[in-house]
Structure 1
Amino acid sequence: MELIILTGLSGSGKSTGLKTLEDLGFFTMDNIPFRFAGLILKDLKNSAKNKEVQKIALGLDVRTIIDADDFNTFFTEIDNLNIDYKIIFLEASIQCLLNRYNLTRRKHPLTKNTLLQSIEDEIFLMEDIKDKTNLIIDTSFLSAKELSRKIETAVASFSKNILLNIHLQSFGFKHGVPIDADMIFDVRTLPNPYYLEELREKNGFNDDVFDYVMSFESSQTLYNKILDLVTFLIPSYIKDEKRHLTIGIGCSGGQHRSVSFVRRLQKDLNNIEDINIYSMHREKERGNW
């Protein structure tokens, strides 16, 4: 049996995620209380032996928690069943969730005095399951199509027995620092292609911009130090059973230097076994370039 648990914060895109998994051939179930989900999986595993059900996607969120023990009991049950499962956790910034609820006028599953309090309480309640997660996807600036593509990529990677997921993110400091980054590297000290008229409107995906950024000795030195540190830490993170590592690389606008560094880092890290590399370019997704 192949089991994927899709969970996360309410309003972060779980419905879209489940539809994507259904399109990928998964038998999907949503909003089953934790205390019943284990029993259902036990029955489905017996069905899987008869090849009736092979791929299952289970949507779980704060609405499925009846009491504090449900979480631990559920995972104990599926561990006892020897089911190999992966967890995808969807989240978004508080401001983004507030905007989505105000736009749709839907009621938050936690009924608190304010919508903000409901969201903050849910973030606290979901911390335990987030810690067990194989992949965290921040949907704050993702379209439904982009979220589907990320989930499709994740499902493909799960079959490769990945021990660590590394998320590389370029960003512009003038638009704020990513709040979910485990490590942040600043490449603003390097020569900036923005000041060359022929490169200003281009970005790090363009080879002439990439070649310009990486042509300086200072760029090579900084890049090699970043690569050395990251590759040094990867075995330690795996040993500590850390499932995901988010690395932010920032320049002034998040268009030239940081994108070039993420582009090269993704290529070099892809040579390491047992890890999966994801990259995103925040300012491109926000429409800032």
Structure 2
Amino acid sequence: MRFVIVTGMSGAGKSTALKMLEDVGYFCVDNLPVPLIPKMADLLRVPGTEINKAAIGVDIRSGQSFSELEKVLGQLDVAGMKYEILYLECVDDVLIKRYKETRRSHPLSGNDAPVREGIEKERERTAFLRKRADYLVDTSNMLTRELKAELNKIFVRNKEYKNLYISVLSFGFKYGIPAEADLVFDVRFLPNPYYIEELRPKSGNDREVRDYVMNNGNASEFMEKLVDMVEFLIPNYIREGKTRLMIGIGCTGGKHRSVTLANELYEALLKNENYGIRIEHRDIGKDAITKAK
């Protein structure tokens, strides 16, 4: 029997998580009143029950009863009821953007107060759940399909999960350093394919550009040292409770060298399934757009 409590920040993806769990065979109930959680748990332990996997969504929409949740979880612990807490996290700016896009008001801010105030209150009230979470998934930089892939890894494939999601981002310095990047590496020391006429219209996603960049001895040595350093940092970040890590790799225009090195780093880190990883090429098409203007 597996009993999952899905919670976290409003707008972080709880509905998506519950839908995904339902699709893989979990009996799901969203916004279950807090006082009914022990009764739900008891039903799962009835001999002969057909339900062996269940998930409930619990968040601050529960109103005043939400404050009782910590006490209820303590009751489950005393009763020997095994459960897992999935906490979905997201940074404030992304949450605010999502609320603006959906034109919804935050449950704790109402129609008049700023969304940011509601988010701050929610973080305070859910802090105890975040600390107790078995799985802490930060959806700030995730697409819906990427979130589903991470949940599939945890709840279907039963992979060990280290609560860290890595984003590898290529970019062009002339378009600005990404403010959200935790680590930034400059690969403008490598020969630039831009000055090779037949390579100029191509990108680091093309084999010809990739080979031109990586056949340079400095590129190979740099990649070995970069992978070694990142693999050293990851377990230390996890130990300190970091849930997201963005690694920026930049060249002049973000089309050739940075794309190539970002792809190489992504492929190297992808071999370890203990954490989630995605790749994004922020500026790969901007050169063509700029010239078209």
Q: Scaled by the length of structure 2, what TM-score is found?
A: 0.73
Paired AA for residue 22 in structure 1: E
Q: Shift of residue 278 of structure 1?
A: 1.9
**Corresponding residue for 2:9?**
9
CA distance 1:115–1:204, change in 2 (3 Å)? same
In structure 2, the CA distance between the partners of 1:41 and 1:270, relative to structure 1 (3 Å rule), is farther
Residue 210 (structure 1) aligns with: 210
Residue 184 of structure 1, CA deviation:
0.9
Q: Distance in 2 between matches of 1:66 and 1:26?
A: 28
1: CA distance between counterparts of 2:286 and 2:76? 44
Match of 2:290 in 1: none
The one-letter amino acid paired with 2:279 is M
Mean Cα deviation higher: 212-221 or 195-204: 195-204
Residue 82 of structure 1, CA deviation:
5.1
**In structure 1, distance between residues paired with 2:29 and 2:71:** 19
Distance 1:130 1:197 in 2: 53
Q: Determine what percentage of the aligned residue pairs are the same residue.
A: 29
User: Following superposition of structure 1 onto structure 2, how do residues 89-128 of structure 1 map, counting pairs within 5 Å?
Assistant: 89-91=88-90, 93-94=92-93, 96-111=94-109, 113-128=113-128
Tell me the distance in 2 between the aligned counterparts of 1:198 and 1:88. Answer: 49
Contact 2:12 2:88 in 1 (8 A): no
User: What SS is found at the alignment partner of 1:169?
Assistant: strand
Provide the C-alpha distance between the structure 2 equivalents of 1:40 and 1:194, rounded to a whole number of angstroms: 65
Structure 1 residues 141 and 76, CA, compared in 2 at 3 Å: closer, same or farther?
same
Aligned to 1:184: 183
- SS of 2:275 mapped into structure 1: strand
Question: Residues 61 and 155 (structure 1 numbering): CA distance in 2 closer, same or farther, change over 3 Å?
Answer: same
Give the unaligned 5+ runs of structure 2.
Answer: 288-293
CA shift digits 1:224-271 (9 cap, x unpaired): 222222333445456x37474524133145554444334333443455
Alignment partner, residue 222 of structure 1:
222
- The one-letter amino acid paired with 1:225 is K
Unaligned runs of at least 5 residues, structure 1:
none
- Go from structure 1 to structure 2 and tell me whether the alpha carbon gap of 1:101 and 1:166 turns closer, same or farther (over 3 Å shift): closer
Deviation at 1:46, TM superposition (A): 0.2
SS in 1 for 2:167: strand
d(CA) in 2 for partners of 1:269, 1:209: 21
Question: Distance in 1 between the 2:217 and 2:16 partners?
Answer: 45
Alpha-carbon distance between aligned partners in 2 of 1:281 and 1:147, rounded to the nearest angstrom: 15
Matched letter for residue 279 of structure 1: R
1: CA distance, partners of 2:76 / 2:211 = 50
Distance in 1, Cα, partners of 2:154 & 2:285? 24
- Return the letter of the residue paired with 2:160: N
In 2, are the aligned partners of 1:166 and 1:275 still within 8 Å (CA)? no
Equivalent residue number for residue 63 of structure 1: 61
Q: Secondary structure at the match of 1:29?
A: strand
Rate the CA distance shift 1:126–1:86 in 2: closer, same or farther, 3 A: closer
2:291 corresponds to: none
Question: Hey, what does 2:277 align to over in structure 1?
Answer: 278
d(CA) in 1 for partners of 2:125 and 2:170? 29
Q: CA distance change for structure 1 residues 104 and 209 in 2, over 3 Å: closer, same or farther?
A: same
- Whether 1:43 aligns to 2:42 is yes
Residue identity opposite 1:56 in structure 2:
A
Specify whether residues 52 and 198 from structure 1 end up closer, same or farther in structure 2 by C-alpha distance, changes over 3 A only: farther
Deviation at 1:221, TM superposition (A): 2.9
- Amino acid corresponding to residue 268 of structure 1 in structure 2: A
List per-residue Cα deviations over 1:64-101 (Å, max 9, x = no partner): 3637864543544455535252525152552x443443
Report the residue type matching 1:55 in the other structure: K
How far did residue 45 of structure 1 move?
3.3
The answer (yes or no) to whether the contact 2:141–2:167 under 8 Å persists in 1 is: no
Aligned residues: 279
| Alpha-carbon distance between aligned partners in 1 of 2:197 and 2:92, rounded to the nearest angstrom | 36
Report the CA distance between 1:176 and its aligned residue: 4.9
